[in-house]
């Protein structure tokens, strides 16, 4: 790795995360206290999943994009909460018996295990809906409408949900193999399944800060590279990690014959690809000043993470 192209150490992202993490968690807690009308069981199921310890990568991307475009973290907090709610709902539904059928998530029982399947389905629905309420009420005009539209587009049938449907389908068909077609298909799935929410996190932060078209485009390129790196390192961790470190079942991708970067490209080529994408992520930020240093450090963190 070229130290000049990648000047920010992953540790400087960790420093930001230590201060921003508690701020995000406090805001998520406040958003889900929910008054009269919300049944206790529903609120507890939502909070069980939303407030479980997590990396909060997506909300941090919102805050860092806002900062990089000259905005404040405070103004971006509602959008940060909204993307984490979408992320949490997607995990609840993905874990259901009809989908990935997972019992463990972030080291805790999944929502349908801790509660029941009906409650988990409805808690996911409630978090998805609350994300738009939080965004629509918390983002100041004139960015409100564009933020709602962008989040819905990224999370919807042509974005995250579409990617999840194709991912399940490819798993069912046992699509594996190597070659250009396989890698194209794999990248198309992840560009939507995980990439769309990463890109829109950056976009929301930028919109809140009143970014111009050039800034939006640069962050979109950065997000595309970061999203794929994130997925590649996730796949690599599944191959390498132990269950204890990940807090969820691992090695199951291979057991399910799932299409992954290591299974298509091999481990070494996957590592090379992740490094190349990290460099491209840094290059995309060339026009930003030191206010984007944490975004630079985050790219390095995603590349080097071990959990």
**157 binds a copy of itself per the rule CB under 8 A:** yes
| Residues from 72 through 91 that contact a copy of itself (CB under 8 A) | 89
Buried b (16+ CB within 10 A) or exposed e, 66-93: bbbbebebebbbbbbbbbbbbbbbbbbb
Q: Which residue in 149, 181, 217, 245 binds a copy of itself (CB under 8 A)?
A: 149
**126 binds a copy of itself per the rule CB under 8 A:** yes
**128 binds a copy of itself per the rule CB under 8 A:** yes
Buried b (16+ CB within 10 A) or exposed e, 122-150: bbbebbbebbbebbeebbeeebbeebbeb
Q: Give the rounded distance of the alpha carbon of 111 from its chain centre.
A: 19
**216 binds a copy of itself per the rule CB under 8 A:** no
Asked if the bond preceding 250 is cis, omega within 30° of 0, the reply is no
**136 binds a copy of itself per the rule CB under 8 A:** yes
Q: Which residue in 25, 103, 125, 220 binds a copy of itself (CB under 8 A)?
A: 125
x/- contact string, 159-178, with a copy of itself (CB under 8 A)?
x-xx-xxx-xx---------
Stretch that binds a copy of itself, among 7-15, 103-111, 115-123, 251-259 (CB under 8 A): 115-123
Q: Which residue in 56, 192, 282, 296 binds a copy of itself (CB under 8 A)?
A: 192
**98 binds a copy of itself per the rule CB under 8 A:** yes
Kindly tell me which of 87 and 192 has the beta carbon lying closer to a copy of itself.
192
| Residues from 261 through 290 that contact a copy of itself (CB under 8 A) | none
Residues within the interface to a copy of itself (CB under 8 A): 34-39, 41-43, 46, 89, 93, 96, 98-99, 116-119, 121-122, 124-126, 128-130, 132-133, 135-137, 139, 141-142, 144-146, 148-149, 151-153, 155-159, 161-162, 164-166, 168-169, 192
């Amino acid at each position: 790795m070229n130290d000049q192209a990648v000047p920010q150490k992953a540790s400087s992202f960790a420093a930001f995360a230590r201060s921003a993490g508690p701020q995000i968690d406090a805001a998520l807690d406040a958003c889900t206290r929910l008054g009269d009308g919300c049944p206790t069981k529903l609120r507890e199921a939502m909070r069980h999943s939303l407030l479980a310890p997590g990396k909060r990568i997506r909300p941090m991307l919102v805050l860092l994009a806002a900062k990089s475009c000259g905005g404040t973290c405070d103004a971006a907090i509602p959008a940060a909460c909204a993307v984490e709610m979408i992320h949490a709902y997607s995990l609840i539904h993905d874990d259901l018996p009809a989908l990935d059928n997972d019992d463990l998530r972030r080291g805790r029982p999944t929502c349908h295990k801790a509660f029941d399947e009906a409650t988990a389905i409805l808690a996911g629905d409630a978090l998805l809906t609350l994300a738009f309420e939080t965004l629509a009420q918390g983002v100041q005009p004139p960015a409100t409408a564009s933020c709602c539209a962008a989040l819905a587009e990224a999370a919807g049938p042509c974005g995250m949900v579409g990617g999840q449907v194709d991912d399940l389908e490819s798993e069912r068909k046992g699509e594996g193999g190597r070659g250009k077609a396989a890698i194209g298909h794999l990248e198309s799935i992840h560009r939507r399944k995980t990439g769309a929410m990463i890109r829109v996190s950056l976009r929301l932060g930028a919109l809140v800060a009143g970014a111009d078209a050039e800034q939006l485009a640069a962050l979109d390129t950065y997000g595309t590279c970061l999203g794929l790196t994130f997925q590649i390192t996730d796949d690599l961790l599944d191959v390498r990690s132990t269950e204890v470190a990940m807090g969820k079942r691992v090695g199951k991708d291979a057991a399910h014959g799932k299409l992954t970067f290591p299974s298509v490209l091999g481990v070494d080529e996957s590592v090379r690809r992740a490094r190349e994408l990290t460099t491209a992520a840094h290059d995309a930020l060339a026009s930003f000043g030191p206010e984007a240093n944490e975004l630079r450090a985050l790219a390095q963190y995603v590349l080097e993470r071990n959990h």
